[in-house]
Amino acid sequence: MARVAVVTGGTRGIGEAISLALKEAGITVAANYAGNDEKAAAFTERTGIKAYKWDVGDFDACAAGVAQVEAELGPVDIVVNNAGITRDGTILKMTRDMWEDVIRINLGGCFNMAHAVFPGMRTRKWGRIVNIGSINGQAGQYGQVNYAAAKSGIHGFTKALAQEGARFGVTVNAIAPGYIDTDMVAAVPTDVLEKIVAKIPVGRLGQAHEIARAVAFLCAEEGGFVTGSTLSINGGQHMY
Ligand code: NDP
């Protein structure tokens, strides 16, 4: 029977490319999203992949979402924690809500989803969890103490959970993308983006499918000896 994957934030941007790459690998995919029903419906029409709405920052909603996917598609073997948001501002301008939203969704979402699927993976002795971190969690970024802290936390979370999963055939890895051409990066002011691209040795933004292919490898049978790793995919911008 085909493996079942949940891709959080799987209906657009990097997540859409991941959903498609896993589908191409013969995996049954459930693409989660937060609230953009129109984009989710268009995604399902384009790809044939079913979309499921819940907030990954909500512990109970993740448990209920996973239960729904399992009832409809079967036990979840793979989770890609890709959902993420930015709420940028220097610390003087950053409100407590901006801090808490980013930590709750980006980092809390990884915990909430892993907590929902880990017991089943452990019992079945097979699982793949891939967490999408960021270059800005490795190197820091001006105006992003919330995002950098959340993404850096993801990298620590990955290494700790990898130790818990290893004996049970559950691998846990992270990918740290550099700047990828999606809606999130489109929100960066042009002059700032030009300065960023000038610092990328390959001289361009990354493409979502360049992240997705790496996720597909980590989720495959052949990825079973890779665990606790963070793979940087950033055009050489930060050699970590
Ligand atoms: P986008 O903003 O293009 O898409 C974000 C996706 O996450 C959407 O599907 C959105 O759903 C979903 N989402 C947001 N909040 C929640 C939530 N609370 N619950 C469930 N789903 C949610 O992002 P990208 O594709 O650019 O980024 C994907 C991941 O990659 C993020 O974790 C980001 O931090 C990381 N990243 C991105 C980089 C880049 O350059 N783009 C660089 C490094 C890391 P909806 O459509 O309903 O809003």
Q: Which atom of ligand 1 is nearest to the CA of 35?
A: 47
Check residue 43 and report its DSSP letter: H
Q: Check residue 188 and give its pLDDT.
A: 87
Local confidence band at 112 (pLDDT 50, 70, 90 cut-offs): very high
ipTM of the complex: 0.99
What would the mean pLDDT of 118-135 be, rounded to a whole number? 98
Q: Is 1 a residue whose pLDDT tops 90?
A: no
Q: What is 55-118 written as a DSSP string?
A: -TT-HHHHHHHHHHHHHHH----EEEE---------TTT--HHHHHHHIIIIIHHHHHHHHHHH
- Residue 31 CA to residue 195 CA, distance in Å, equals 34
pLDDT in tens, 175-198: 999 999 998 888 889 998 999 999
Which domains does the chain show, CATH number per domain?
Answer: 4-233 (3.40.50.720)
**Ligand 1 atom 9 nearest Cα:** 9
Predicted TM-score (pTM) of the model is: 0.98
Catalytic positions are 147
Q: Which atom of ligand 1 is nearest to the CA of 180?
A: 40
pLDDT in tens, 36-91: 999 999 999 999 999 999 999 999 999 999 999 999 999 999 999 999 999 999 99
Ligand 1 is surrounded, with C-beta below 6 A, by 8-9, 11-15, 32-36, 39, 55-57, 82-85, 105, 132, 134, 177, 179-180, 182-185
